[in-house]
Each structure stands twice: as C-alpha cells, then as structure tokens.
Amino acid sequence: MKIGIVCYPTYGGSGVLATELGMALARKGHEVHFVTSHQPVRLDFLNANLFFHEVFVEEYPLFHFQPYELALSSKLVEVVEKYKLDILHVHYAIPHAYAAYMSKQMLGQKGIHIPIVTTLHGTDITLVGSHPFYKTAVEFSINNSDVVTAVSESLRTDTLRLFTIYNKIQVIYNFIDFEHQKTWEDEDCLRQSLAKDEEKVITHVSNFRPVKRVNDVITIFNKIQKKVKSKLLMVGDGPEREKAEIYAKELGIKDKILFLGKSDEVRKILCLSDLFLLPSETESFGLAALEAMAARTTVISSNTGGLPEVNIQGKTGFLCDVGDTEAMAKKAIYLLESEDRLNEFKDQAYQYSQKFSIDNILPKYEQVYREVKSDCC
C-alpha cells in the first residue's frame, strides 16, 4: 500500500512513534511518504520505499502566524496526487487531522478519494485539544476522520468524555521495534563513563514541559540519594530545565545530577540505567516508560492516564499518586537497596514490554488500512 504519514518531526512521543511506524511499514514493502515540516528526528534509515516531503511555509510581513495547515493541506494534495497514495495516516489531531480533512475535500473535487486515519496521542486531546480555542475544530476533525485510533484505553475514555464523538475509537497501543532498536542485550553499556560502579543510575527522559513535573524528579532523587549511592541522568530539554537545575543547586545535589540535554543515545542511556522516573501530571501512554522497560529498566511513575496500562504495579515497577514524591522515593529505595529485588523487577519490566512488540501492533495498523481502503474507495 502507499501510505502518507503526517506527524511532528521533533523529539516527542507522537513523532517518534509515527517515524518508527513508517520505517517498519517500509521494511514490510509498503511505500511510505512522510509529509512534515522537517525531517523526523528518528528517520535515520535508507530504504527505497521511504520518501520525505518537506512542508515549507513562506514568511510574509502581514502574517502574525504562519499558515502551516494551509501549506500542509496543499502539500498533501500534491503528494497524494503525484504518488497516488492509498491512505493518509495523521498523528496528533492538531492541526494534522484538520489539514488532512481539507486536503481530502480538495482531492474529492478532483475525483480522488482518500481515506484518513487519525491517531490521537494525548496532549492533542487532554491538554491542548479540549481548550475552547481549538475544541470545535478538533471535534470536527475526529468525527470526520475515516478511522480514529487512540494509544491507550485511558485516552479513548478521555476523548469520549471531553468531546462529542460519533466515530468509533479503536485502541492501538504504542510499540517497540525490538529487532531494529538496539536493546539492553546488544548495547555496549558504557556505565563507567557516567557513574561509579557502586552508584545506582536513575534516569528521567522528557521534553521538560510542566506536565512532566520535572522538579518532582529532583525531589524524589534528593530523597533517594540520602539512602542509596546514586546518580541522576536528566535527558532532554525544555522550558522547565533551568528551574530544575536551579532547584538541584539549592538542594546541594547538583554534582550528583547530569543534565545531558537532548540526545540521540537514549537507548544507550536507558540500558545503563537501574530505575526510570516519570512522575508526570498526566500521560496518555508514556512511551518513555515503555522504552525504559524495553531496555530492562524498572519504572516509578505517577498513577495517571494510560500509565497503569504500561507500568504494572508491583511487577514492572510502582505507581503512586501524582505529586506524592515521598511515596515515589520510598518505592525507589525499596527497589534500589536490594540487588536481587531490583533485578527481578528489571527482568519483569523487560518481559512485560514484549507485550508492546511491534510484531503484535503493526498488523493492527495494517488491518485498519486494509479495511478503511476497501470501505472507502
């Protein structure tokens, strides 16, 4: 099949997932066309079935905001027509589902009928999409997609609660491509380069937005390091980073924390980690936690959104109430102070992550494409 994929190309769960999906589809022989504002960060794979089309937006003094969705919908019309695409799969409702709907209308006038699959990722629903500024357009785009998928049961429930939805929403979980992503088994974990042998390595990976509660990570670590010799690796960047660095300095633990910034070596970092912290306010899924588990790292997370569908209480790690840093630190210390217990949880985290193997998830997307294609045109 010929599939167009629209996503955010930056370091974010939805873009990462869409890129991994596109690369896997190309490996299976589908022709995949990414239509994005920049080359997606994880699109590092050469394949004759993989194409990238950049959406350009012209600067013009009259524009206060650049009309990106206009440029995107025009580009989609051009790419669908030129490459005779069968399906458009858009990740993140805003503005991708809306732009795809517009392109579908324009193509329809030319006698070209293309189905649209929209995958909801979380912030497009819970944090941004339901805001009165966007709600009407997001609701319209969801109801006018040919198929809608959500990355967790929790996100599906939230979408039905926050919007008036007539369309069916199918849950297709996020995945890990174990064969093509290096995991803890084959990574060369250069642990000594970042931590001493006697230190436990604790990691947090995010875009450092307020929803990630980055200062909670520092508070939890402060409590842990008083009981267990440890180091904290902070991976990523964003608006809360500076505050977190200042807070760590105030607590006098700056020398025990490495702020590594954005990294293309996340898997290497995860493979040398003992414990992953994700105390977010909300997460529709928590792909970062799943990536940690796939690298055999146990997870302490908040008990919110889709996280309980990924991190299993008392098996792959622990979940505590949002903001309960005391409980999170206690659970972390409980795991870190016994090598046997820690290894048991790490093994269980790795085992459970297999449930989200691409081998189980990719066929679900292919099935959606086949069905929507035969229903639509």
Rounded to a whole number of angstroms, the minimum distance from the CB of residue 89 to ligand GMT is 14
How many amino acids of this chain bind ligand GMT (CB under 6 A)? 20
Rounded to a whole number of angstroms, the minimum distance from the CB of residue 13 to ligand GMT is 3
Closer by beta carbon to ligand GMT, 13 or else 22:
13
Q: Tell me: does residue 159 bind ligand GMT (CB under 6 A).
A: no
Q: Tell me: does residue 95 bind ligand GMT (CB under 6 A).
A: no
Rounded to a whole number of angstroms, the minimum distance from the CB of residue 211 to ligand GMT is 5
Q: Tell me: does residue 365 bind ligand GMT (CB under 6 A).
A: no
Among 282, 297, 325, 348, binds ligand GMT (CB under 6 A): 282
What is the footprint of ligand GMT within residues 99-158 (CB under 6 A)? 121-123, 151
Among 275, 336, 264, 267, smallest CA distance to 295 is for 267
What's the Rg (C-alpha) of the chain? 21
CB 18 within 8 A of CB 102: no
Closer by beta carbon to ligand GMT, 15 or else 22:
15
* Span of 19-27, 78-86, 205-213, 326-334 interacting with ligand GMT by CB under 6 A: 205-213
Q: What is the DSSP string of 290-341?
A: HHHHHTT-EEEEES-TTHHHHSPBTTTEEEE-TT-HHHHHHHHHHHHT-HHH
Tokens 């005779």 -> residue: 84
Among 152, 279, 135, smallest CA distance to 210 is for 279
Rounded to a whole number of angstroms, the minimum distance from the CB of residue 63 to ligand GMT is 25
CB 159 within 8 A of CB 142: yes
Among 285, 350, 365, 369, binds ligand GMT (CB under 6 A): 285
Closer by beta carbon to ligand GMT, 285 or else 356:
285
Count Cβ atoms below 10 Å from residue 191 Cβ, excluding itself. 14
Cross-strand partners of 302:
320
Closer by beta carbon to ligand GMT, 212 or else 331:
212
Rounded to a whole number of angstroms, the minimum distance from the CB of residue 91 to ligand GMT is 8
Closer by beta carbon to ligand GMT, 25 or else 172:
172
Region label for 261, one of left (φ > 0), alpha (ψ between -120 and 50) or beta (otherwise):
left
* Span of 139-147, 247-255, 277-285, 366-374 interacting with ligand GMT by CB under 6 A: 277-285
Geometric angle at alpha carbon 219, from 217 and 223, rounded to 5°: 115
Closer by beta carbon to ligand GMT, 328 or else 333:
328
| The two structure tokens encoding residue 123 | 């912030």
Q: How far apart are CA 128 and CA 193, in angstroms?
A: 40
Q: Tell me: does residue 254 bind ligand GMT (CB under 6 A).
A: no
Rounded to a whole number of angstroms, the minimum distance from the CB of residue 51 to ligand GMT is 23
Q: How far apart are CA 354 and CA 177, in angstroms?
A: 10
SS3 content of the chain, % helix, strand, coil (to 5): 45, 20, 40
Among 36, 118, 174, 219, binds ligand GMT (CB under 6 A): 174
Q: Tell me: does residue 209 bind ligand GMT (CB under 6 A).
A: yes
Q: Which residues contact ligand GMT (rule: CB under 6 A)?
A: 12-15, 17, 92, 121-123, 151, 174, 207, 209, 211, 282-287
